[in-house]
Structure 1
Amino acid sequence: MNDPKYFAKGRCTCGEIHYTVNCKPMFVHCCHCSWCQRETGSAFALNALIESERLGITKGVVEKVQTPSNSGVGQVIVRCPECQVALWSHYGAAKEKVAFVRVGTLDNPNVCPPDIHIYTSSKQSWVELSDIAAKAEDFYRRSELWPEECVRRYKSAIEA
């Protein structure tokens, strides 16, 4: 990454959509729930939680697709209209104020290692987890694991 004013840059597979992230994520989830496994066609989903106002689309126009979610509330997945790659999602209490950025769409995914592995009770048996990141069999309490600054950022985002 050559531009120091951005924390990260990302794009879809076909290059129709390019975006920037101008801060470190609040927290990074590696979700092993069976819903994420089915939705992504992979063993887990790796999502960096970032205030939506800190994302910038620098090329293209994204498509927002409403899909079901395990909670029953649904989620909005932001996709490239051409290659249909999921770039980020909005769901939960934060709705569209917080983006769950798909780490694999970043130009350098190494900048966002997981802070926690969630729903490990349904992880694939062949996935081995190290002791580097926290683990939770289901979900967890944000107040117990997030740095205080990130809790403040999250609260500020959803109250805006």
Structure 2
Amino acid sequence: MSGLLGNRPIPLIQKSLAEAFSAGGCGERSLPNHRGRENMAKKYTAQCACGAIKFEFDAEPTFVADCYCKDCQKASGGAMATFFGVPEADFTLLSGSPKSFHYTAESGNGLDRNFCPDCGSRLFSSNLIGFPGLVFVMIGSLDRPEGIEPKLEMFTKRRLGWTKALDIPQFPAMPS
């Protein structure tokens, strides 16, 4: 699989972007487009809490979900995580070198959670076996998240008792 970060693990992303792009190619892995080759800013911009890692994309977010699975609870430190899918080809890493953690979800599918090694902000998930060609962006990383709302809630069987269901489709596990 080629694309954003290739297949797991992603040792290349731990190199500097300058090194990765000066090599002219990334072997089996390729990083997203890098600003500088394009002068126009994309529609959506995002960054970690300290600003070291920045990325952007144009596509309207799809598959906007509140997920209550144990993985998302542990990874977010909260009752659930809100994320959305964007096409990998549209995702552009502008600065920084995210660190990744490979995880095998309850479904048995693997994914790489990418976060800032400096401030710890969880930013996006890549190499999603169950969703090839997509990057799942954490809504809290967006500079302007207004107007992006969940379209569904999943793994509601793991919802904490004090959280209330939104008036959107509910799925006790991963929607099929």
Which bracket does the TM-score occupy, shorter chain normalised?
0.7 to 0.9
Give the TM-score taking structure 1 as reference length.
Answer: 0.76
| Native 8 Å contact 1:63 1:79 kept in 2 | yes
Q: Does 1:117 align with 2:117?
A: no
One-letter identity of the residue aligned with 1:124: L
**In 2: Cα distance, 1:16 partner to 1:115 partner:** 30
Task: Select 1:100's aligned residue among 119, 122, 136.
Answer: 136
Q: What is residue 169 of structure 2 aligned with on the other side?
A: 134
**In 2: Cα distance, 1:35 partner to 1:60 partner:** 25
Give the 3-state SS of the residue equivalent to 1:37 in structure 2. Answer: helix
**In 2: Cα distance, 1:69 partner to 1:119 partner:** 12
- Are the structure 2 counterparts of residues 11 and 124 from structure 1 closer, same or farther at C-alpha, using a change threshold of 3 Å? same
CA shift, 1:22, in A, is 0.9
Indicate the percent of aligned positions where both proteins have the same amino acid: 24
Segments of 5+ residues of structure 2 without an aligned counterpart are: 1-39
One-letter identity of the residue aligned with 2:170: K
CA shift, 1:66, in A, is 1.7
CA shift, 1:34, in A, is 2.1
One-letter identity of the residue aligned with 2:92: G
Question: 1:1-160 maps to which residues of 2 (within 5 A)?
Answer: 6-90=42-126, 91-95=128-132, 97-131=133-167, 133-141=168-176
Give the 3-state SS of the residue equivalent to 1:43 in structure 2. Answer: coil
Give the 3-state SS of the residue equivalent to 1:94 in structure 2. Answer: coil
CA shift, 1:5, in A, is 5.6
Give the TM-score taking structure 2 as reference length.
Answer: 0.70
CA shift, 1:25, in A, is 1.4
Aligned length: 136
Give the 3-state SS of the residue equivalent to 1:109 in structure 2. Answer: coil
Larger helix percent? 1
CA shift, 1:31, in A, is 0.4
One-letter identity of the residue aligned with 2:108: G
| Native 8 Å contact 1:48 1:112 kept in 2 | no
One-letter identity of the residue aligned with 1:139: M
CA shift, 1:27, in A, is 1.6
Give the 3-state SS of the residue equivalent to 1:36 in structure 2. Answer: helix
**In 2: Cα distance, 1:27 partner to 1:6 partner:** 20
Give the 3-state SS of the residue equivalent to 2:173 in structure 1. Answer: coil
| Native 8 Å contact 1:26 1:50 kept in 2 | yes
Once superposed, what is the RMSD of the aligned Cα atoms? 1.9
**In 1: Cα distance, 2:118 partner to 2:148 partner:** 26
